[in-house]
Structure 1
Amino acid sequence: MSVASMTGFARCEGGADDVSFVWELRSVNGKGLDLKIRLPQGFEAIESEVRRLAAARLTRGNVQISLQVRRGEERPDFSLNEAMLEQMLALTRRLVDGGHAAPPTADGLLAIRGVIDVADSSVGAEALAERHELALARFGEALERLCEARREEGAALKAILDQRIAELHDLVMRAEADPARRPQTIRARLAAQVAEILQAAEGLDDQRLHAEVALLATRADIREELDRLRTHLDAAAALLSSGGPIGRRLDFLSQEFNRESNTICSKSNAASLTAIGVEMKVVVDQFREQVQNLE
């Protein structure tokens, strides 16, 4: 299964006889799946099926779906919903009298959905059902194109994320091999720090001294952080290889990357290790920024 981005665009046009359908689908990042569907009058009945089809293919993203219907020589019948228009007029009068709104215009009132009903006088129920079926067929094509666009961008993102993981693996190896982590270097640094403690507190008892030395030794060792970071990196690489909707899990792992690199920086008492930790944080930020685009 491939990795998919949450951003993409697709357009599909087609139809039969004197009616054509134009679907446009736009997708951007989102925490979950949010579908916003705009259909022309007469096609409201297909909204539930459009929603079902989209939810079956997409798991995350803010997706805008719109349909335009273009008719040939056929002339639709227009009818005025007088009851609804009276309600709108009464409501606007109250708002105007209360000083909450300006007087409405005729085109503004007529633009309200439902005030003007459009009906195809020459289209019966059977023909309308066929048009709905054709429109859904074109929607299926547009949805496939959107998924393909998201997969293409996902492939590009995967290459970037694989590179960031490789960079972090390299930084872990550099940290492990850093001269500041050699046992003799750590021993000498601890000895100097213990000497400072003894000089600052002559009356320090042995138990307190042992506790201070143990604390210094713990802070000097970043082995656990490096091991955990390597484990998280391997898990991220496995997720990218498996594909599918992995954005949330990779975002969680990127937080773990950040936590370990922060700890390495805070425990480091050598400039070389601190520099490596800072470089880790930069790469982790780049990794997490790209992960936000994944489904």
Structure 2
Amino acid sequence: MTGYASVQHAPASTEDNASAQNVRLGLEIRAVNSRFLDLTFRLPDELRSQEPALRSLLTQRLKRGKVEVRAAIDVDACASLPQPTPALLQRMQSIQDLVQAWLPTAKGLSVSDALRLAGSGNAVQVDWQEVVPALAETAVTALIDARAREGKRLADMLKDRLSQLRDLAAQAGPLVPQLVEQQRQRFLERWQEAMGLTEGQVTPEAARERALSEATAFAIRIDVAEEITRLSSHLDEVERLLKKGGEIGKRLDFLIQEMHREANTLGSKSAALDLTRISVDMKVLIEQMREQVQNIE
């Protein structure tokens, strides 16, 4: 199922690292539909060491989906600019004079060089090993909540398709006895015509018996009661799983395959356009369900 979550964290500053308050960590997780769990990480160099922990967390909490994890560290450069002291600037000047005395062609320090050197001893240090797991847990929980909302929408759609399939099955049931009776009458008429052509060579009882035998064979051949019963059983099981919830995606996928098989068999036994139409409508609905079921955990 699809889902998106985004969280941010700003480490608290301390006496030893007051500039940490100028650092922001943003973490976002995107998930799109997939039959399997496919994880992708896009992390800055500072967080590369956290990838195994993130992968383990996502594997434990998620089962299916193409999941992308993005993280970015944002440093407020303006707020974190160092303020070099006169003593430090004087020392920089002395060192520059010494270097240029030996290397006359050496370039002098620029303002940015001076600021970089002044801030090199006061670099922002954050223990990401403590920050990232908790932040990731929050993001995954938000993602699961988003996917749960998407799952409810999918469940409503599946229930609607279940209702339509039940209606089609109810329409198919009464058609078979009507077809059998119609075919029985046709057989009787045909055998009566045949009796007239044979000029009494076949007794009426034999002709009627043969007609009823043909009608019985036809009824057996087109009987779809067993398919409708199995289809109804699968519909009941799908509905039960939707109410139960949890990790039901693979079981639903199997049931959809079985439902498609029953709809195919019903179509192959069809002896009337109405049954063929019902079979086609069933397969369309089942295919719509299959597309969505593959996205459910």
* TM-score by shorter chain over 0.5: yes
The 1:196/1:267 distance shift into structure 2, 3 A limit, reads: farther
Specify the code of the residue in structure 2 equivalent to 1:8.
G
SS at match of 1:163: helix
Residue 280 of structure 1: how far off its partner (Å): 1.2
Alignment gaps of 5+ in structure 2? 12-20, 82-119, 196-210
1:190–1:216 contact (8 Å) kept in structure 2: no
Query: 1:121-270, aligned counterparts within 5 Å?
Result: 122=122, 128=126, 130-178=127-175, 180-181=177-178, 184-185=181-182, 187-188=184-185, 216-270=218-272
TM-score after normalising by structure 2: 0.69
Larger radius of gyration: 2
2:57 partner amino acid? L
Residue 8 (structure 1) aligned to one of 3, 22, 26? 3
Contact residue 65 and residue 295 of structure 2 kept, 8 A: no
| Aligned alpha-carbon RMSD (Å) | 3.1
Residue number in structure 1 paired with 2:41: 37
So what's the TM-score if we normalise by structure 1? 0.70
Give the percent of matched residue pairs that are identical in Structure 1 and Structure 2.
38
In structure 2, the partner of 1:46 is 50
| Unaligned segments of structure 1, at least 5 residues | 1-5, 76-119, 199-208
Q: Aligned-pair distance for 1:245?
A: 2.0
Which residue is equivalent to 2:279?
Answer: 277
Using the TM superposition, give the Cα deviation of residue 131 of structure 1 relative to its aligned residue in structure 2, in angstroms. Answer: 2.8
Moved more, 58-67 or 135-144: 135-144
Give, in whole Å, the separation in 2 of the partners of 1:292 and 1:169: 22
Equivalent residue in structure 1 for 2:30, among 5, 26, 29: 26
- What is the count of residue pairs matched by the alignment? 234
Q: Distance between the aligned counterparts of 1:48 and 1:235, measured in 2?
A: 39
Higher relative contact order (CA 8 A, sep 6+): 1
Q: Which runs of 4+ in 1 moved over 4 A?
A: 120-124, 179-183, 189-198, 209-215
- C-alpha contact (below 8 Å) 1:186/1:220 kept by paired residues: no
Q: Decide whether aligned partners of structure 1 residues 185 and 213 sit closer, same or farther in structure 2, where only a CA change above 3 A counts.
A: closer
Which has a greater percent of helix?
A: 2
